Each structure stands twice: as structure tokens, then as C-alpha cells.
Structure 1
Amino acid sequence: MSKSKNSPLSRRSVLSGGLGLAGSSALMATGASGTAHAAGSPQPSERTTAWQTSTSANGWQVTDHDGIAPHRVEGSPMTVSLRSGDTATVLLHVARRYFYEIDSELKTEDITGHSTDRAVAAAFESDYLSGTAIAIRPHACPLGADGCLFPQDVDVIRDILADCEGTVRWGGDEKSPKQSHFQIDVTPGDPRLARVTAKIHSWQATPGKGAGTIDAFVPQRLRAARDLAHTQQRAA
């Protein structure tokens, strides 16, 4: 078990895998599995479903391989398969900051991206089918489990989301939470995605900017992050 940079204890609660259900007209029941959930969290549903439409819940084209490639999370030992282009740039920024600021012991096996398995337990999990979502330690933070992360970790996640200007949604804000999940939250062609990508590229080209240089606990950043959180939580 990894050690926290800010605490002698683990920065996460280790949980066994669990599943939940979010209703959607695009879902069709196919099976069930055992579950586990965090103390005090709602018991998730055991039912899994098969995603039936050609686009994922966030509006991107489902694909088995077209446009999908392995991408390295810069500064870490991790690689993850994602839709190439702006979506990958933004999700890799999320993963990189998570590695630097929350858990520097992450390895490739701790992150998942594109999947061809249409069995999902919540509509937003279909976003893996389009290569536009990642899950970081999904077995430690399964669907339906709450309280997997320390409050200071959540503050960092909120700051990362603020960096992304609403183009990324966190699974912790869903009605049935999945705190390991991060998805692109705009549809193809949305100008905000290109704007955030350009900002990330400019940080990467400028020493002292971007991931690895950010203090998420500066009061101004905390306020901005919490304002965005209130907006995204109301949209859940």
C-alpha cells in the first residue's frame, strides 16, 4: 500500500470491486456480479448492462480501435489507451496531476482507458468505449462507493477540474458515485476542448507552468474550484 505525501496513512481506502446502475434507454440488462461498498455509502446495484448505441453517453463515437492509441502519462510510469487528439491531451493532464499531487506510486495497471467491453453498470461508463474517459484505481474506488479519498485529495481533484474549465467531469459527482472515473464532458467540436488543449500545450512548453508546479491550496484556486464543483454537482 502506498504512503501519502501528506499523511503517514494511505491516501485511499482499499475496497473490493463493486457495481451500480444508472438508468438509460440505451442500456439492456445482461447479468449480475457480487459487490462491496464503503461504510456509509449506498449499496450499489448488482445488475450490469450492455451499451447498445453507437455513441457513448458523452456524445463521442464508440470504437473498437479507430483513433485509439496508447499514450504515456508524462512524468510517470503509466501508459493508457485513449482517443488521440484533444481528448487525450486533457485526460493525460488529469492523470499527470493526479500522479504528482495525489498518488505518486501509480503504475500502468492502476489506470484504465479505452475498452471494447460493452458491459457497463452506469451510463457514464460507456465513455470508456469511445476512449474519452479514464479510471484511476477503479478497484479501490468502484461504482457506488463513497469516501474513497481524503478531503485534501478531493480538493486537488476539484482544482484539476477547474484547470479543465468544465471539459472534464468527475465520477464522484454522479448520483451513483465512481470516484476513480474522469470523463470528457463536452461533445465533439466544442470549442472549449480546443481552448483547454491549447492552454495545456502552452504550459508544457513553458518552464514553471502546468502539472508539477501547481499549488491547489492557494485560496483563489480553492474558491474557483469550489464554484465549479457547485455547478457540476447541480448538473448531476
Structure 2
Amino acid sequence: MRDVMTPAIRLDRRRFLLTGLGATAGAALALGGVTTTVAAAAGTQWRGRTSANGWRVLDSAPAHRVEGTGGVHFDAADGDVATMLTHVVRRFHYEIATLAPGEVTGHATSHTVAAPYESNYLSGTAIAIRPLLYPARAQGGFFPHELVVVRDILADLEGVVKWGGDLRPAKESHFQIDVKPGDPALRRVAAKLRGWDIKPDEGAGTIEATTPARMKAAKALAARQR
């Protein structure tokens, strides 16, 4: 029988199935091993003064409004870090899914982490986009054409930002600064993005992720970051 569902219906159905699978897996764990389930949910306490990516843990971080998104904002370290993470959110909003306020989270003050990379929220150097839809340990949340955009965003940022889908355990909502403070690549790429912002034909909203050159660059970076 021919598939007559629209892309939007297929997307909703897939996400419903993913959510259902997650609930089923949780129920199975509850029946077969309560201790394991509780331990995974509780996480561990991050006690370092720096996060896993080498940045200083912050008591607070400023809010950054993402232009062109209708009020989406997130808390993160200021300066080049915010420039990089804002680019991720803008391209996600324009090319993958329209975001609403509250769907992007950033700096956190809770030191309970499910994996070391979650400590990067403490330093304001990581964000989660729709974390309820793309939770930790769940994979396959993006369609192939959406993954092309994710990989292209990372290529824009030249390896300075890493995607949680390439981490273990995977967390597809997660994006983090993947260089140490003072790394020249961070300054250079952030300056490139600011240059794009003042040109009407460059930057988020103008990019075609499927050109051969861009796909080649994205594939090469993915091979290095995985």
C-alpha cells in the first residue's frame, strides 16, 4: 500500500513511537531491576570547579535571545561561547523545527549529572534543544535530512562545537563547546559568525546544507568527532 502520510504526520507518528518505546523500556527495567533504574535516574554529583570541557563552573549566566525565533532564549556564558551556541539554535529553528520559548535550556545550577558531559551546563558552555524530545540514551530522533543539517551546523563551527549524538551515552538534544578556554579556533569561528550576521546573504537562514562541498566538509568532520 502506498504511504499517503504527509511528512508532518510521519514525524509525529515517529516521535510518538519513540516516546512509547522509552516508556516501555522504563517499565521493563522497573520490573527487572529497580536498583539499576534508580541509580541511572539519580546520576552523580559533579564536584569539580571546571566542567568536563575545561571551563569554569558559573554560579549564573546571562540570558541570550535568539534573533528571528519569536522569543527563544537560553542562559550561557557570554562572548564567543554565546555566539557559537546561538548559531546552533538559529539554524535548528530555521532548518529543522520551529522552536518555542522554553524549548532550549542552557546554564544549570544543579550539580547532578547523568554523564560527565552534562557538567558543561554548569559552565554555561552547553545547551539542550528540546531535551524532552531527544533525551539521553535515546537515538534515532532525527530524520536523515535533519541529520544532514545537524552535521552541516557542526561543520560551520569547524569542530568547536560537538553534538551529543556523538557522545556516550548519546543525547541528541545536547550541543557543547568542545575546546578549552582561550583556544584560538573559538575566537576565529565566532568572528566568522559575527561577520555573517552583518551580511544579508550569509549565515543562518541562507545556507543550503546539501551542496556537495558542504556535505563533504560535514562528512569529514563527523568522521573526526565520532
TM-score of the superposition, structure 1-length normalised? 0.82
2:152 paired with 1:159: yes
Letter in 2 for 1:56: S
- List runs of 5+ in structure 2 lacking aligned partners: 1-5, 29-35
Alpha carbons of structure 1 residues 35 and 70: separation in structure 2 relative to 1, 3 Å: farther
**Any idea what the Cα deviations from partners look like across 1:40-68, whole Å, max 9, x if unmatched?**
xxx98444111010000000000112xx2
The 5-angstrom pairing of residues 1-236 of structure 1 reads 7-8=7-8, 9-10=10-11, 13-14=15-16, 35=26, 45-65=40-60, 68-77=61-70, 78-104=72-98, 106-233=99-226
How far is the alpha carbon of 1:36 from its aligned partner? 7.8
Partner of 1:3: none
Does the Cα contact within 8 Å between 1:35 and 1:46 map onto a contact in 2? Answer: no
Letter in 1 for 2:119: S
Letter in 1 for 2:11: S
| Bigger Rg, structure 1 or 2 | 2
Letter in 2 for 1:88: A
Q: Tell me how far apart the structure 1 counterparts of residues 191 and 131 of structure 2 sit (CA, whole Å).
A: 29
How far is the alpha carbon of 1:175 from its aligned partner? 2.3
Does the Cα contact within 8 Å between 1:60 and 1:188 map onto a contact in 2? Answer: yes
Alpha carbons of structure 1 residues 36 and 144: separation in structure 2 relative to 1, 3 Å: farther
**Any idea what the Cα deviations from partners look like across 1:146-185, whole Å, max 9, x if unmatched?**
1111111111000000000010000000121000000000
Letter in 2 for 1:95: V
Partner of 2:3: none
Does the Cα contact within 8 Å between 2:51 and 2:57 map onto a contact in 1? Answer: yes
Does the Cα contact within 8 Å between 1:13 and 1:149 map onto a contact in 2? Answer: no
Higher relative contact order (CA 8 A, sep 6+): 1
Does the Cα contact within 8 Å between 2:126 and 2:175 map onto a contact in 1? Answer: yes
Partner of 2:33: none
Letter in 2 for 1:116: T
TM-score of the superposition, structure 2-length normalised? 0.85
**Whose helix proportion is higher, 1 or 2?**
2
Alpha carbons of structure 1 residues 81 and 36: separation in structure 2 relative to 1, 3 Å: farther
Q: CA RMSD in A?
A: 2.4
Identity %: 50
* 3-state SS of paired residue (1:201): helix
Partner of 1:27: none
Q: Tell me how far apart the structure 2 counterparts of residues 36 and 192 of structure 1 sit (CA, whole Å).
A: 45
How far is the alpha carbon of 1:109 from its aligned partner? 1.3
Q: Tell me how far apart the structure 1 counterparts of residues 150 and 86 of structure 2 sit (CA, whole Å).
A: 14
- List runs of 5+ in structure 1 lacking aligned partners: 1-5, 20-33, 38-42
Q: Runs ≥4 in structure 1, deviation > 4 angstroms?
A: 34-37
Between the two proteins, the alignment pairs up a number of residues equal to: 206
